[in-house]
Structure 1
């Protein structure tokens, strides 16, 4: 008895076991990089002292924010743009993903790659390309239609509410949803649908009782992620909305930061309001997906494609038209813009030149920024796969007591506009003495990329893990395989396409990131995206289009590598 009691007394408590300690270290590290900067945002909303002066707190910033006459209009505009782009893009993305993953659509692999490539196009580049087509004065489509006697004047105006929605839908809103939903539809076990049909259920009842419930966590995550991104979009509204005085929350915050006397208190007060609006979405996602089983890949996995029959070629025509809109048009006109003497004017004598390319390629700043971009994007992608997969694995595959808190924290970077998150990280680096030497280095930009990409990366990997049945891992362990062998031969192979997707989405996000790193970039670590912004600020739109095309080449090269690796993983 004494021996047993003595042995029991020497046994380590479960809360100091190595796995729990490791999970706690991850939780504390993520909380420090995410929660602490957000707390700084809240604290700074009450800071009323001018920059460089001793701290003094009050409510002046909140009064200024609520006294802003455009606040109510900006709130309404933000809601309208978010609702319009999410409703249109989600319905269309579900249809596209289903056609690619679950039907015998011709050319479906290349169509899927086209949406990958379109997602990697910088939003600012796509916007400038469509301005060349839909500008009310010199847009090619409008000038062409104006020559028709029936029309007389170009009917399209990209500087409008629906112009903004159009750009959002054909860029990130649609393409990222297709990227995220297609693997989920592909991994869905066809045996569920087949069993429903054998039981006498029709197509509609099968979709309502089987397909939609099984796909619910992925669709919900994609919808919530899209909504959060919509609430903080900036570039499109800044370029297309300002000319007709159309402001949203993010552009209002930016306006407060770039005034002659920046109102950091008022800007951060508005950011806190965005945070308050985002948190219910995060809690809703946590509540709806908790305690439900969404496994779709098991030892009895079956994959079967639906035959489209007479709708096969009409569906292909629809997909081809969408590919031309989201990829073909931006590519063609982005390239044309780099050779224009005067951006947007096709009707001047001899409008084409190579001077823009020679000017940019001969600039030493460009060569340095190109190298910085490659290092930043590659480092962030590798780090994201390691860190984000570790967070997702702890949340989904362990019983760690703090896993739900870790899951909640991983959503938080999407709750503030990118420019404010960058400002919060700047305060983090300057406020913590140990991190102060990182300011101005590439490590600071990598950390910013990791934090800003955390919600998307973690949720993608989580969705894949939730669809990966534990019976395959259990069978491997019963057969005598070690944990590492099981992870390498079972989990890693099945998750490889998802991990590649996370790596490449992070790669392109880091290569074109502006808002999160604008305040952290210096002359020593400036990437191409910031160089492009500098060209635009100097009204050098032609040189900016050259830089945008080079960013596109880097992104499309990464998309091609990801696609080849994904196909190889699927074949394996």
Structure 2
């Protein structure tokens, strides 16, 4: 469970850190190298302190995300009698009658832990100006040569990529070509067929689920990052009283388990005069609510590294707030916003825990279809659906990176 959850959370750390590094002035590290410092000293005394907001945000998100994770504990822990907060909530909700009081108390425990983490993060990042590297002085981010460490670093990255991505995907592809699951053997390779993919094409739910997942992923990522970019400006730049509460409230959904969030939304909209229950838009509301904290962390981390000098210069020149935000801040924030957009797109595309209580026939998403295939024991068809899901995400992320390379700061 620890290994799988660690692999699941590693993209969060990478996307948070790469956005911070792209916005950091390399002249500071170059100056230290010219003064005789080793690369390790530069990393320890200059690079790590400058990226401290991103490191704190990454550790905080990983800790709380591990606390509220549902899929990994449910699939790997329940069958062995290992319970965590979320799997215990799932268990008490499955009993008859559902013990809503126990689920609520467990959720409050998660909320208290998260608020403690937010408070620690806020105290650690109070000296925001210490980490500002994008100022009124011109600079262009550029890569640094690794020298003799380049082959070693490349080998480590390739090994990590093979054991965490290539090998599992090869097993998934292998299973998707079998009539029934069996260990690798000569007979198994001889019996490979595309029948599972043909069955997917004939399954009407598959096309509907793919379209719904695409719509929900793109829409939720766009809405969340657009809203959180403005919210980050209010938290970091404005002097509005109580602005810190926005950061606190934006973080709250992170610790609400998807099952509890889905249950709460179903109760709300069952009694709401707005006819949204049973439609795809209730899933969109759930996704935007669930992934709002991620967008906020990406946006705030990027905003901390941009000095207010740039906005002040634009305002002195007669620019309005919207012109300053659109033409000055957004291009500089684009690495962090793009990283957050990609991450929210990916996690929304495969969201299960909140969807399972809110979907209705005709509004299924791919994760629901995969879960149903898993419960029915149809592992070859499930593997074929997983391959299609992975390929779709690869295409979406590649297109997003290509489009994102045309905006923001350019590398030499």
Q: Does 1:512 align with 2:347?
A: no
Find the counterpart in structure 1 of residue 329 from structure 2. 491
Partner-residue secondary structure (3-state), 2:405: helix
Equivalent residues in 2 for 1:558-569, closer than 5 Å: 558-569=396-407
Give, in whole Å, the separation in 1 of the partners of 2:362 and 2:156: 47
Q: Does 1:401 align with 2:241?
A: yes
Higher alpha-carbon Rg: 1
Q: Does 1:297 align with 2:140?
A: no
What is the CA distance between 1:196 and its match in structure 2? Answer: 4.5
Q: Does 1:522 align with 2:344?
A: no
Partner-residue secondary structure (3-state), 1:521: coil
What is the CA distance between 1:292 and its match in structure 2? Answer: 3.0
The verdict on how the C-alpha distance between 1:357 and 1:302 changes in structure 2, with shifts beyond 3 A counting, is closer
| Preserved CA contact (<8 Å) 1:279 1:415 | no
Give, in whole Å, the separation in 2 of the partners of 1:165 and 1:527: 27
Q: Does 1:174 align with 2:14?
A: no
Q: Does 1:234 align with 2:74?
A: no
| Preserved CA contact (<8 Å) 1:380 1:446 | yes
Give, in whole Å, the separation in 1 of the partners of 2:147 and 2:344: 38
Find the counterpart in structure 2 of residue 218 from structure 1. 54
Find the counterpart in structure 2 of residue 375 from structure 1. 215
Unaligned runs of 5+ in 1: 1-163
| Preserved CA contact (<8 Å) 1:500 1:565 | no
What is the CA distance between 1:202 and its match in structure 2? Answer: 5.5
Partner-residue secondary structure (3-state), 1:525: coil
C-alpha offsets along residues 169-203 of structure 1, whole Å, 9 cap, x if unaligned?
2x222222112101212322223334455667665
What is the CA distance between 1:417 and its match in structure 2? Answer: 1.9
Find the counterpart in structure 2 of residue 330 from structure 1. 168
Partner-residue secondary structure (3-state), 2:179: coil
State the number of aligned residues.
406
Give, in whole Å, the separation in 1 of the partners of 2:3 and 2:115: 27
Give, in whole Å, the separation in 2 of the partners of 1:306 and 1:367: 45
Partner-residue secondary structure (3-state), 1:346: coil
Q: Does 1:165 align with 2:2?
A: yes
| Preserved CA contact (<8 Å) 2:141 2:410 | no
| Preserved CA contact (<8 Å) 2:22 2:335 | no
| Preserved CA contact (<8 Å) 1:369 1:527 | yes
Equivalent residues in 2 for 1:25-424, closer than 5 Å: 164-169=1-6, 171-196=7-32, 203=39, 205-293=41-129, 294-300=131-137, 301=139, 303=141, 305-347=143-185, 350-424=190-264
Match of 2:373 among 535, 539, 542: 535
Q: Does 1:468 align with 2:306?
A: yes
Give, in whole Å, the separation in 2 of the partners of 1:176 and 1:325: 19
Partner-residue secondary structure (3-state), 2:213: helix
Give, in whole Å, the separation in 2 of the partners of 1:390 and 1:344: 52
| Preserved CA contact (<8 Å) 1:220 1:285 | yes
Which TM-score applies when normalising by structure 2? 0.91
Match of 1:500 among 333, 338, 355: 338
Partner-residue secondary structure (3-state), 1:568: coil
Equivalent residues in 2 for 1:442-481, closer than 5 Å: 442-481=280-319
Give, in whole Å, the separation in 2 of the partners of 1:255 and 1:304: 51
Give, in whole Å, the separation in 1 of the partners of 2:27 and 2:140: 6
Give, in whole Å, the separation in 2 of the partners of 1:529 and 1:402: 39
The verdict on how the C-alpha distance between 1:359 and 1:291 changes in structure 2, with shifts beyond 3 A counting, is same
The verdict on how the C-alpha distance between 1:400 and 1:344 changes in structure 2, with shifts beyond 3 A counting, is farther
C-alpha offsets along residues 63-105 of structure 1, whole Å, 9 cap, x if unaligned?
xxxxxxxxxxxxxxxxxxxxxxxxxxxxxxxxxxxxxxxxxxx
What is the CA distance between 1:567 and its match in structure 2? Answer: 2.2
Give, in whole Å, the separation in 2 of the partners of 1:288 and 1:486: 29
Give, in whole Å, the separation in 1 of the partners of 2:182 and 2:66: 28
RMSD: 2.3
Give, in whole Å, the separation in 2 of the partners of 1:315 and 1:200: 23
| Preserved CA contact (<8 Å) 2:237 2:308 | no
What is the CA distance between 1:494 and its match in structure 2? Answer: 1.7
Larger RCO (CA within 8 A; separation ≥ 6): 2
What is the CA distance between 1:265 and its match in structure 2? Answer: 2.3
Give, in whole Å, the separation in 2 of the partners of 1:230 and 1:280: 15
C-alpha offsets along residues 384-417 of structure 1, whole Å, 9 cap, x if unaligned?
1222222212112211112111110011111222
Unaligned runs of 5+ in 2: none
Give, in whole Å, the separation in 1 of the partners of 2:301 and 2:110: 26
The verdict on how the C-alpha distance between 1:194 and 1:308 changes in structure 2, with shifts beyond 3 A counting, is closer
| Preserved CA contact (<8 Å) 1:422 1:517 | yes
Give, in whole Å, the separation in 2 of the partners of 1:277 and 1:486: 38
What is the CA distance between 1:515 and its match in structure 2? Answer: 0.7
C-alpha offsets along residues 24-44 of structure 1, whole Å, 9 cap, x if unaligned?
xxxxxxxxxxxxxxxxxxxxx
The verdict on how the C-alpha distance between 1:392 and 1:344 changes in structure 2, with shifts beyond 3 A counting, is farther
